[in-house]
């Protein structure tokens, strides 16, 4: 068997159950074309829809995408509202998830979001609750560090109320208070756009994730790029601390 065939076969055998994606490069994609950054986010949303369906068809059971971080509020008001409008557009078009048999779930702190967006998010979660082809987590106003701090606060509260003791604050106990409490941790995290960091994405859950970075700007990301990431993943040797 040629090396190529061997690698493709391996990629089919060892698919990740959960993929996380940091969709980076929308702004640069727009700038290169002399367009406003919001145009990059709109094109990025189209890519997001295509990649979501591709992952579902490929048998991925959980996909988590980083749509808006707790730090993204620092961007101009115009850009923030551009991203929120892209999200509104996606959520209003319910067939984006109903037709796809994809369960939609939001992770992050919803509190500061506009009321109409919060209502659309709840609606999407309720409508898609029984869909089982794939679970899609959309991270909005999400940060891994605040997620862990929140879990620590909830554990402390349980101690104060006498429900558990300090010794009961184990990794398992902390996990119970994360947004992804009922889900497996990401096996593979992909970041597009040529930066090599995790930027507060799934900080707890990524402890043993395989990381894959590529230079392609998110709006240009296609199925063939996911395939390259899957192939790289299939050739990794995951030891989880074992020799």
Which of these is catalytic: 50, 72, 85, 109?
A: 72
In whole angstroms, how far apart are CA 157 and each of 39, 150, 171? 44, 11, 16
> Contact between 82 and ligand FPP (CB under 6 A)?
no
> Contact between 81 and ligand FPP (CB under 6 A)?
no
> Contact between 143 and ligand FPP (CB under 6 A)?
no
d(CA 134, CA 99): 12
Out of 18, 41, 103, 191, point to the residue binding ligand FPP (CB under 6 A): 41
d(CA 46, CA 55): 14
CB of 36 to ligand FPP, least distance (A): 11
CB of 177 to ligand FPP, least distance (A): 24
* Nearer Cβ to ligand FPP (90/233): 90
Residue 232, exposed/middle/buried by CB under 10 A (0-12, 13-18, 19+)?
middle
Looking at 13-21, 44-52, 100-108, 145-153, which segment touches ligand FPP (CB under 6 A)?
44-52
Q: How many CB atoms lie within 10 A of CB 204?
A: 17
- Contact flags string 88-127 toward ligand FPP, x per CB under 6 A: --x-------------------------------------
Query: Is-catalytic flag, 24?
Result: yes
- Contact flags string 47-66 toward ligand FPP, x per CB under 6 A: -x----------------x-
Query: Is-catalytic flag, 123?
Result: no
Out of 39, 60, 87, 229, point to the residue binding ligand FPP (CB under 6 A): 87
In whole angstroms, how far apart are CA 71 and each of 37, 111, 232? 17, 15, 30
Neighbouring residues of 42: CB distance < 8 A, sequence distance ≥ 6: 82, 86
| Torsion angle of C-alpha atoms 124, 130, 131, 134, degrees rounded to 10 | 90
* Nearer Cβ to ligand FPP (16/44): 44
d(CA 93, CA 218): 22
> Contact between 83 and ligand FPP (CB under 6 A)?
yes
Q: Using alpha carbons, select from 237, 219, 170, 230 the residue that is nearest to residue 44.
A: 219
d(CA 110, CA 121): 9
Site for ligand FPP in 183-202 (CB under 6 A): 193
Residue 180's beta-bridge partner residues? Answer: none
d(CA 223, CA 151): 36
Out of 24, 100, 185, 187, point to the residue binding ligand FPP (CB under 6 A): 24
Give me the active site residues, please: 24, 72
- Binding residues for ligand FPP, per CB under 6 A? 23-28, 41, 44-45, 48, 65, 67, 72, 83, 86-87, 90, 138, 193, 218
């Amino acid at each position: 068997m040629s090396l190529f065939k061997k690698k493709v076969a391996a990629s089919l055998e060892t698919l990740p159950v959960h993929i996380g994606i940091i969709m980076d490069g929308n702004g640069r994609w727009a700038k290169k074309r002399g367009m406003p950054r919001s145009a990059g986010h709109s094109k990025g949303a189209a890519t997001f829809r295509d990649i979501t369906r591709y992952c579902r068809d490929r048998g991925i059971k959980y996909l988590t995408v980083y749509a808006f971080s707790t730090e993204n509020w620092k961007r101009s008001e115009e850009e923030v509202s551009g991203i929120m409008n892209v999200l509104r557009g996606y959520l209003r078009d319910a067939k984006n998830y109903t037709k796809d048999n994809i369960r939609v779930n939001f992770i992050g702190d919803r509190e500061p979001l506009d009321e109409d967006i919060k209502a659309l998010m709840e609606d999407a979660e309720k409508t898609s609750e029984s869909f089982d082809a794939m679970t899609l987590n959309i991270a909005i106003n999400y940060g891994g560090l605040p997620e862990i701090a929140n879990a620590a606060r909830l554990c402390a509260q349980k101690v104060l109320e006498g429900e558990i003791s300090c010794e009961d604050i184990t990794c398992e106990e902390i996990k119970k208070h994360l947004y992804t409490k009922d889900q497996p941790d990401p096996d593979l995290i992909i970041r597009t756009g040529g930066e090599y960091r995790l930027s507060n994405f799934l900080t707890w859950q990524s402890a043993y994730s395989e990381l894959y970075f590529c230079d392609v700007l998110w709006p240009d990301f296609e199925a063939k790029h996911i395939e390259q990431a899957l192939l790289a993943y299939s050739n990794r040797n995951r030891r989880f601390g074992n020799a």
